[in-house]
Amino acid sequence: MDDNSLFKLESGSIDEASTVVKDFAEKHSQTYSFHENDKETLERLWAALFRRLENENSEACHKYCLICIRLLSRDKVGLCDHVTEKRVETLLKLAGLVPQEEALSKASQKSADRDVMLEALKALCNIVYNSPQAQAICGQNHAVEAVIIRMRTYPEGGWPITLKYFDMKLLFLITALCSSVRPTLRGPLHGYTYLVESLDLILKESKGKPLTGEQVQFVCEILKVLFNLSLGANQTEEEPHHIRLGAILYQLLLLKSSNPAELNMHAVNLLVSLPGSCYSELLTLADRLCPPELECEGYNMAVVEIILELLDEKLEDQVIKKHPESLCPLLTVLAKGARYQRPIRKFLRARILPPLGEQVLTRPEEGDTMRNKLCRLLTAANPDTNISQLAADLLFVLCKENVGRMVKYTGYGNAAGLLANRGLMLGGDGKKPDGYSSDSEDSDTEEYQKYRDSVNPVTGCYEPPKPDPTAGMSDEQKEYEAMQLVNMMDQLTRDGLLQPCRIGEDGRPEPVVHVLQLLEELPPEFRQQKNTFDDSNTES
């Protein structure tokens, strides 16, 4: 902005100032970096804009002044130099977010102010997101309280959905970036109550009709705020809120909308933070309208099916490569539901791990079924996420935490990571995990029984009999080949490429210092044969 324009903004008439800010807003609508400009010019611009905003006689240009601040606050470089407590208070006041005493003294906001309030909220969201200084200010002032005060008036109507969306966006940013406000919002301000009531209000207003795009965005922001509040919350104290929230999430997952995938993912993210006992709210008794394929033990599993379909979509290879983190909440919710709710586990087991038949002819990780896709995750090397562990947990729960059953469906090679982490490499201690029914769900099909004896437990698939590679070799030739193998393994160990291990008493792998330690694991008859072989070699 040149000096002449700045002078008009600072000292010109309302019309001149309005023309300057409108031109600036149009020119820089797609600009995201301003720090290359002269620092003194930028400071003059910020000061002039707030001077106009603090002047009630300049109301005609307030909207475009706020648009200019929103554009300038896109650039976080040097933003803190322009953010002060007074300026944040000015924006809050223009957004209609005032302390309770002031809110009670005002009858209502004029409808003509709504555009100004909206632009002030947008500017606040940008500033809070990009400025640690603004985050600290909003963590200590009345910003959070003011949003809650306005939320109380949502049921009265009259507030545009876009304005309510930015209310929630601001609240989400403050609770995400300033964790110290969460206890206050949970406790004295009764944030849980008003947030859940806002969700309930949206459901009532929809009357079963699909949610619009704006309504979906608003609901998603509420769910994000609720997720922030759940972090560090006392599960026992918040249990009544969690039960009610579980029932509302059930309705949201079933509700049609213009963007169901986004809404469902935010609902699933919040389900992660709820205790498993609340997952009973996801189940309703099946009625005569319930499709047979969605009924399990008398319950309608429509919501579980929606989550399962969402997981299936996310298991596509391209999605995993681009957004592997999107799988984590889905795997967590399904595993938690299966662990705490028997009908959910039985339904998921029927969908993911049905009785094996001719599927045993191929490796568990080969194919397009849900079981195949999850088995591929078991050996996925992704240091940024723990999807392999989460996938293993889900499959293990569906197997009732039975090692043999897990190996049967995934192969020992795929399950080795989970078994090693849990100290189950030796098959466990034989005790039945708590929380699972005693009925067997492992009735093998005739096809599986036909191939069962030839299934390689390591690969988890059928392997036809192979000829003995040592057939026709003399004992000397066998001994020579064995020593060649020992020498190659020894070289790999010396080069650090291979670390021999044995299974320790805790069921986990432990490294061995010398290969002779492995002899301790051999049965007595094999150790006796070795000693006899060594003695015969010594005599000769």
Residue reference for tokens 């000096």 = 3
The rounded distance, in Å, linking the Cα atoms of 125 and 188 is 24
Written as one string, the DSSP assignment of 265-319 is: HHHHHHHHHS-GGGGGGG-EE--TTS-GGGEETTEE-HHHHHHHHHHHHHTSHHH
Distances 447 to 24, 136, 412, 465 between C-alpha atoms, Å: 74, 65, 21, 18
> pLDDT (tens digit, 9 = 90+) per residue, 73-117?
999 888 999 999 999 999 999 999 988 777 666 544 444 488 999
- Strands 455-456 and 461-462 come out as antiparallel
Residue-level pLDDT at 442: 61
Higher-pLDDT residue of 515, 249: 249
Mean pLDDT of the chain, nearest integer: 86
- pLDDT at position 112: 46
What is the distance between the alpha carbons of residues 119 and 68, in angstroms, rounded to a whole number? 10
Backbone angles phi, psi at 503, to 5 degrees: -85, 120
Range from 308-317, 393-402, 418-427 carrying the lowest mean pLDDT? 418-427
Looking at the predicted structure, is the pLDDT value of residue 66 above 90?
A: yes
pLDDT at position 238 is: 80
So where are the chain's domains? 283-466, 475-539
Q: What share of the chain has pLDDT > 70, as a percent?
A: 89
Cα–Cα nearest to 50, from 65, 60, 39, 40? 65
φ and ψ at 379, to 5 degrees? -115, 20
Beta-carbon contacts of 360 under 8 Å, excluding residues fewer than 6 positions away, are 447, 448, 451, 452, 455, 460, 461, 462
State both tokens at 75. 């650039």
**Is 527 a residue whose pLDDT tops 70?**
no
pLDDT at 72 over 60: yes
The better pLDDT of the pair 254, 105 is held by: 254
* Confidence label for 435 from pLDDT (cuts 50, 70 and 90): low
Is residue 532 predicted with pLDDT exceeding 60? no
Q: Tell me the angle at which helices 342-352 and 302-314 cross, rounded to the nearest 10 degrees.
A: 40
Q: What percent of the chain has pLDDT over 90?
A: 51
Query: In the prediction, which pLDDT does 156 show?
Result: 85
Q: What's the pLDDT score for residue 523?
A: 61
Helix, strand or coil, per DSSP, at residue 115: helix
Q: What is the mean pLDDT of residues 125-149?
A: 95
| pLDDT tier at 345, thresholds 50, 70, 90 | very high
* DSSP helix/strand/coil, 502: strand
pLDDT of residue 431: 58
Look up residue 140 and give its two tokens. Answer: 């200590």
* Distances from the Cα of 169 to the Cα of 72, 124, 163, angstroms: 19, 10, 10
Residue 144 CB neighbour total at 10 angstroms: 23
**What is the model's pLDDT at position 525?**
55
Q: Identify the DSSP state of 323.
A: -
What pLDDT, on the 0 to 100 scale, is given for residue 371?
94
**Once rounded to an integer, what is the mean pLDDT over residues 157-161?**
87
pLDDT tens by residue, 277-301: 899 999 999 998 899 999 999 999 9
Instruction: Name the token pair of 213.
Output: 């795009």
Predicted structure pTM score: 0.85
Q: What is the pLDDT of residue 443?
A: 65
Q: Note whether 419 and 402 are within 8 A (CB).
A: no
Instruction: Provide the pLDDT for residue 232.
Output: 81
d(CA 539, CA 523): 25
pLDDT at residue number 165: 96
Residue 408: the pLDDT is 92
pLDDT winner (highest mean) among 156-160, 188-192, 376-380: 188-192
What local confidence, expressed as pLDDT, does residue 329 receive?
A: 95
Would you state the pLDDT for residue 107? 45
